[in-house]
């Protein structure tokens, strides 16, 4: 089955009554966990970006506290999962400020693992995040760029 384009979906949703719109939203939230998480973000957390960043950091902290590493490949899998979790929440907000703050925090958490090994896969994963931070930082206002500059310098100095 071919899905409709975003433009077609927007036109179809525009024609729905508020009651029908509510039913569609609830049906989407019922069948897909990510849709429910996105809906929760939009309804409860979108208006307070700083609190949203703190909640993401708490979830990352909880993930790393429960992290049990059996082998190097297991560790790499778990670090990639932490990155997927962070990227999901970054995608929900669509804000470069959230992206920079969360990725910096994630790099701080990943950094001790990079010091324990000389794995190119792990170092590449870490360096890709640094590159993503730099690209997102360029799209922020100058005062926000300055606020994050010290954090970025700290994680880059230790990465050399």
- Rg of the chain over all Cα atoms, to the nearest angstrom: 19
pLDDT (tens, 9 = 90+) of the chain, 160 residues, equals 788 888 988 888 899 999 998 998 888 888 888 888 888 898 899 899 999 999 999 999 998 888 877 777 888 888 999 999 999 999 999 899 999 999 999 999 988 888 777 788 888 999 999 999 999 998 988 888 888 888 888 787 544 4
Q: Which two tokens stand for residue 153?
A: 């310098």
- What does the alpha-carbon distance between residue 62 and residue 81 come to, in Å, rounded to a whole number? 13
């Amino acid at each position: 089955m071919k899905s409709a384009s975003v433009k077609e979906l927007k036109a179809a949703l525009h024609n729905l009554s508020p009651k029908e719109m509510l039913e569609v939203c609830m049906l989407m939230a019922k069948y897909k966990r990510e849709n429910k998480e996105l809906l929760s973000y939009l309804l409860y957390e979108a208006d307070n970006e700083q609190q949203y960043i703190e909640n993401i950091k708490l979830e990352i902290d909880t993930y790393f506290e429960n992290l049990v590493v059996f082998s190097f490949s297991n560790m790499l899998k778990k670090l990639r999962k932490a990155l997927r979790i962070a990227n999901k929440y970054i995608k929900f907000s669509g804000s470069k400020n959230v992206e920079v703050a969360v990725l910096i925090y994630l790099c701080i958490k990943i950094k001790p693992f990079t010091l324990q090994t000389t794995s190119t896969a792990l170092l590449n994963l870490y360096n890709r995040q640094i590159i993503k931070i730099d690209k997102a930082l360029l799209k922020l206002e100058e005062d926000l760029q300055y606020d994050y500059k010290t954090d970025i310098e700290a994680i880059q100095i230790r990465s050399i």
